[in-house]
Amino acid sequence: MEVTRFGKVILFLLSYYPLFAFIICDNKNLKEIDFRGISLNWILVIVLTLFVILLNYYLFFHKKWPKKVFEITKFENTSAETLNYLISFMIGLYFIEDSLYSMKIIILLVLFYVVYQAGGTYYLQPILMLMDYKVYKCSIDNNNTVMVISKRKIGKNKIELEELFEDVYIFKGENDE
């Protein structure tokens, strides 16, 4: 299943949600606006957090994706790549000014998006990592490489995977290690 351009943008925004939450929390203009004693920036963070959680739940747990059975011949845990995102968050936070629409942050986010799209790293979602999911790079029976998102440990065996998009799968079932 090919990821549409709109889907890529949504996945990018989901992966950078923590950065957007920090920007909103730190925005001084939004702190001055309140609704019944609660500042607008906290209302936005709460609403965005609920949206991200619900969208991740829908995409990764509720929606039924096409299933395929593969023989895993080799695997490697690549979850550490998420550290690259943390570094980009820190760089992004360094450039934040009072304005949510700072030109520096917009240019930085556009640059991140171009790299994100070119690298095809749609599967790196910090929210999933916080929920204890791991990302595995797996060689499958026909010598192709796929990425597998799973809470369970992946082993060399035959497993049923759900296809999220091209070459990215989620493992929800039992592992027969």
Residue 102 has pLDDT above 70, yes or no: no
Segment 43-58, tens digit of pLDDT: 777 887 788 778 777 7
Q: Which residue has the higher pLDDT, 175 or 106?
A: 106
Q: Which SS3 state, helix, strand or coil, does residue 120 take?
A: coil
* pLDDT for position 65: 76
Segment 125-170, tens digit of pLDDT: 777 777 788 888 899 877 888 889 888 888 888 989 888 877 888 8
26-62 burial string, b = 16+ CB within 10 Å, else e? ebeebeeeeeeeebbbebbbeeeeeebeebbeebbee
- pLDDT tier for residue 98 given thresholds of 50, 70 and 90: low
Both tokens of residue 66? Answer: 């096409």
Residue tagged 């999220």 (tokens): 164
- pLDDT tier for residue 94 given thresholds of 50, 70 and 90: low
CA distances from 107 to 96, 113, 140 (A): 12, 10, 39
Q: Where are the domains of the chain?
A: 5-171
Q: Which residue has the higher pLDDT, 73 or 112?
A: 73
Q: Enumerate the H helices of 27-147 as residue ranges.
A: 28-31, 40-57, 82-94, 103-119, 126-130
pTM over 0.85: no
Closest to 92 in 3D by CA, of 113, 80, 117, 109: 109
**Rounded to an integer, what distance in angstroms lies between the CA atom of residue 130 and that of residue 83?**
12
Q: Which residue has the higher pLDDT, 63 or 67?
A: 67
